[in-house]
């Protein structure tokens, strides 16, 4: 049974790899489905904006409140904003945002494409002269690649407001002083890797959701399975990318 699991994992990885190659082959060649791309971007933003914003705010607030006692013990309270903001921007916000999007968007794409597959809608596109891979897959993957970094930037900003509130719960700090303390430590070398990382998160979520949906079999039952396994696989890959990103940043001394 163990070898069966490993076998399935490897063949699935190979299939996703081929699917991703097809994305690069078809994604950069006309004709481009701009209208559908904009629609998907709007849809993704609209669907996750509220949740991502609230989560970012809560994370900023909570991390600040919880870090406060230990910073106070070292007498380093003035370092609180910079420490919190670096961990928010570098790690917490991108990963939490990606996980939320894996859950909401990954499963949505898996279920939508899955039901289109089993009700022959994808075949119907093919016979009416629209390349369904371009129309459905390429647009969705580009949309997640564009939108997740944007959502991360937004969530970063809201998270910092949360941190500001958290700092002010124990002592009065002006917003001016807070931002000065934050940007003393937070630099482009923290922000850029996190944006680049979220780009890859977006790609992984989009491509896995599309792969699972596009290859759905077994009717309605398969649709549920596609949505579910899209979330599981995307979540796993998000952590994998995060691990690799940390290693690469370390090697390149972006610390």
Partner 1 sequence: MSLENIAPSSPVIHIRGLKKSFGNNAVLRNFDMDLNPGENVVVLGKSGSGKSVLIKCIIGLMQPDEGDLLVFGDNVPTLSHDDLDKMRVKVGFLFQSNALYDSMTVRENLEFPLRRHWIRTGKENVNDLVMEALTNVGLADTVDMMPGELSGGMRKRIALARTLILKPKIILYDEPTTGLDPITAKEISNLMLDIQKKYNTSSIIISHDMNCVRITANRIVMLIDGYCYANGTYDELKRSDDKRIRQFFD
Binding residues (CB under 8 A) for partner 1: these are: 112, 115-116, 119-121, 123-130
99 to 42, 60, 213, 239: CA distances (angstroms):
19, 17, 19, 9
Q: What distance lies between CA 80 and its chain's CA centroid? A: 27
CB of 28 to partner 1, least distance (A): 17
Using the minimum distance from each CB to partner 1, give the nearer residue, 180 or 217.
Answer: 217
CA distance 184 to 159: 17
Using the minimum distance from each CB to partner 1, give the nearer residue, 95 or 118.
Answer: 118
For the chain, the residue count is 255
Using the minimum distance from each CB to partner 1, give the nearer residue, 69 or 129.
Answer: 129
CB of 89 to partner 1, least distance (A): 36
Of 197, 3, 230, the residue nearest 112 (C-alpha):
230
Q: Which two tokens stand for residue 132?
A: 């369904």
Burial of 164 (0-12, 13-18, 19+ CB in 10 A): buried
CB of 202 to partner 1, least distance (A): 22
Using the minimum distance from each CB to partner 1, give the nearer residue, 68 or 117.
Answer: 117
Q: What distance lies between CA 158 and its chain's CA centroid? A: 17
CB of 122 to partner 1, least distance (A): 8
Using the minimum distance from each CB to partner 1, give the nearer residue, 23 or 133.
Answer: 133
CB of 118 to partner 1, least distance (A): 8
């Amino acid at each position: 049974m163990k070898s069966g699991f490993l076998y399935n994992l490897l063949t699935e990885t190979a299939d996703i790899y081929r699917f991703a190659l097809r994305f690069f082959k078809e994604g950069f060649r006309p004709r481009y489905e701009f209208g559908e791309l904009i629609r998907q971007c709007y849809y993704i933003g609209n669907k996750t904006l509220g949740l991502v914003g609230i989560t970012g705010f809560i994370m900023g607030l909570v991390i600040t409140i919880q870090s406060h006692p230990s910073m106070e013990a070292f007498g380093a309270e003035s370092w609180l904003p910079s420490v919190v903001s670096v961990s928010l921007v570098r790690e917490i916000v991108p990963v939490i945002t990606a996980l939320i999007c894996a859950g909401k968007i990954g499963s949505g794409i898996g279920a939508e494409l899955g039901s289109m597959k089993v009700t022959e809608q994808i075949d119907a596109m093919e016979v009416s002269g629209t390349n369904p891979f371009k129309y459905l897959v390429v647009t969705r993957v580009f949309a997640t690649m564009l939108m997740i970094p944007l959502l991360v930037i937004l969530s970063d900003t809201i998270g910092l407001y949360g941190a500001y509130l958290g700092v002010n719960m124990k002592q009065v700090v002006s917003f001016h002083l807070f931002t000065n303390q934050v940007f003393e430590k937070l630099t482009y070398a923290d922000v850029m890797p996190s944006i680049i990382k979220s780009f890859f998160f977006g790609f992984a979520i989009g491509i896995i959701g599309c792969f699972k949906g596009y290859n759905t079999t077994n009717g309605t039952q398969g649709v549920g399975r596609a949505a579910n396994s899209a979330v599981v696989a995307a979540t796993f890959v998000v952590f994998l990318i995060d691990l690799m990103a940390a290693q690469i940043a370390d090697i390149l001394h972006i610390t």
